[in-house]
A and B are shown apart, each in its own frame.
Chain A
Amino acid sequence: MFGSLAALQPRQLAAQILNFALVLSTAFMLWKGLSVFTNSSSPIVVVLSGSMEPAFQRGDLLFLWNRGIETQVGEVVVYNVRGKDIPIVHRVIRRFGGGSAPLSLLTKGDNNAADDTELYAHDQSYLDRSKDVVGSVVGFVPFVGYVTILLSEYPWLKTAMLIFMAASVVLQRE
C-alpha cells in the first residue's frame, strides 16, 4: 500500500496530501465559522455531569449563542471557571447590573442543592457575563455527545481513531 503511494508522481503525491489536509482544514474552518457566527469561542459543547438533570443528561450536545448579552434569570449558560478550563452548564438564578452597567450572574445546577459560589474561583462570588460566559444554550441534541465522553475517558480510543482516519484518507484515492 505504501509502495503505491511512493510510486506516485510528485504532483500526484502533492494532490493526495492536499486531499487529506483539506479534510482537516475544512472541518476546522467550519468550526471557526460557527464560532464567528455565534460569537462564541466554543459554540457546541457536551454536557459532562448530571448536575442539570432532568433538563440535560450526560452526553447531551448543546448549541450556544453569545450575541445579545442581556442574559435573563432562567436561561441556561455555559461558563468557564477562572483558572480552570472546564466548561460548566448551569442555570442563571440571580442577575445584578445590566443595561449600561456590567452584568453579573449567579448560577446553580438544577440538580444541585446549593448555588455555584463554591464552584467559582476563590475571590469570586458571581460570574462576569462578558468575560466568563461562553454562551447561552439555544438548542440541544440528546445523547449524541456521549462519543466525546467515551473518547475523553478512554484516551487510547482517541489515538486509535486518529490513526485510522489518517490512514484511510492517505491510502485511498477518492
Chain B
Amino acid sequence: MAESKISPYSLTDLKNTTDDALANYLRGLHFHQDNTKLDVRLAIGYASVIIAAATFAADYKLGWEATKGWTAVAVVAYALLNGALTYWTWAVEKGCVFDGAKDGRKISIASKTNKHEPTYYLTVTDSGSGSTASTRQIQAPFTAWFTADGFFVAKPFQQWLATSVEAIGDADTKNASRDERDELAAPGPEVERIAQSNGSVEASGTESKGKSGKRSKKRG
C-alpha cells in the first residue's frame, strides 16, 4: 500500500494513503486496535441495506398491491437507520482513523483536511490509565512524507508522529527525537495540563525545567 504511487495533487489520495499508513504504523507498534466505531457503522449500514434488499425482493415477487403496507414500514425503518448512520459518522466517528490502546494507555486519532490545502490535521486524544484524557491538535504538510512524484516515505511520517504524540513516542523511542523537541520547547501534554490547572503551576513548572536541564547537560 505504502509502496504504490499516488497522484500528489489529489488531496483525497494523500489523505487516504496517510490514514492507512498511520493505522499500519500504530498496529506495528503493538497498539491494540479497537474497531468498535467502524463495526457499529457497518452494522447499521448493512442492516439498512438488508431492509432495502428484502423490500426489493418482496416487491419483485409479490407486486406493489400485496406489499404496500410492509413497504411503508420498511421505508420508515430505512429512513431511521440512515439518520442513525449519518449521526454516527458525523457526531461519533468524526473522521476517526485509529482507536487503540497499549499498556492501558488509550489513544484515539481523527484526521481531516481542508479543501485545496495540502495539510494533514490530526486530533489526538490521549487517555492514560487513571489520568484524565487530553486532546490536542497537530498538523503537518503532506510534503513532509510524500515525494514530489507521489511516493509515501514512512520514516519522516513516523518521526513526526512519534515526536509530536507522547503516547506514540513512548512506544517508538527510536523515532521520537525528544531532545530536539525539548530544546524547541514544544508544549507536551504535561506542560499543557499545567497551564490548564493553575493551582500547581510553580511546583510542576520547576520540575519540568529541571528535567530539560538534565537532558541538555547529558548531550553537551
Contact = CB atoms under 8 A, between A and B. Distances in A.
Interface of A: 3-4, 7, 11, 14-15, 18, 21-22, 24-26, 28-29, 32-33, 35-36, 39, 41, 173-174
B215 interface: no
Nearest to B53: A25
Given A11-B38, A41-B64, A33 B48 contact: no
B219 to A, nearest CB: 41
Interface residues of B, number: 30
B52 A25 contact: yes
Interface in B120-169: none
B42 A29 contact: no
Contacts of A3: 4
Given A15-B41, A18-B49, A173-B12, A35 B64 contact: yes
A9 B48 CA distance: 22
B1 A32 contact: no
Interface of B is mostly: helix
Contacts of B82: 26
B16 to A, nearest CB: 5
A149 to B, nearest CB: 23
A32 B79 CA distance: 11
Contacts, number: 63
B110 interface: no
Interface stretch (B67-75, B175-183, B188-196, B202-210): B67-75
A35 B42 contact: no
B53 A36 contact: no
A6 to B, nearest CB: 10
A29 B78 contact: yes
A25 B42 contact: no
Contacts of B119: none
Nearest to A173: B16
Interface string B1-20: 10010000000100010000
B46 interface: yes
Given A4-B1, A41-B63, A173-B12, 15 more contacts: A7-B1, A11-B39, A15-B38, A15-B41, A15-B42, A18-B42, A18-B49, A22-B45, A25-B48, A25-B78, A26-B52, A29-B55, A36-B71, A36-B72, A39-B68
11 contacts: A18-B42, A18-B45, A21-B49, A22-B45, A25-B52, A28-B52, A29-B55, A32-B75, A33-B75, A35-B71, A173-B12
A83 to B, nearest CB: 15
Given A35-B64, A36-B75, A41-B64, A22 B49 contact: yes
B52 to A, nearest CB: 3
Give the one of A4, A32, A33 with max B CB within 10 A.
A32
Contacts of A28: 52, 55-56
Contacts of A174: 12, 16
A36 B74 CA distance: 10
Contacts of A7: 1, 4
A26 B65 CA distance: 22
B49 A25 contact: yes
A6 B39 CA distance: 20
Nearest to A134: B64
A37 B10 CA distance: 42
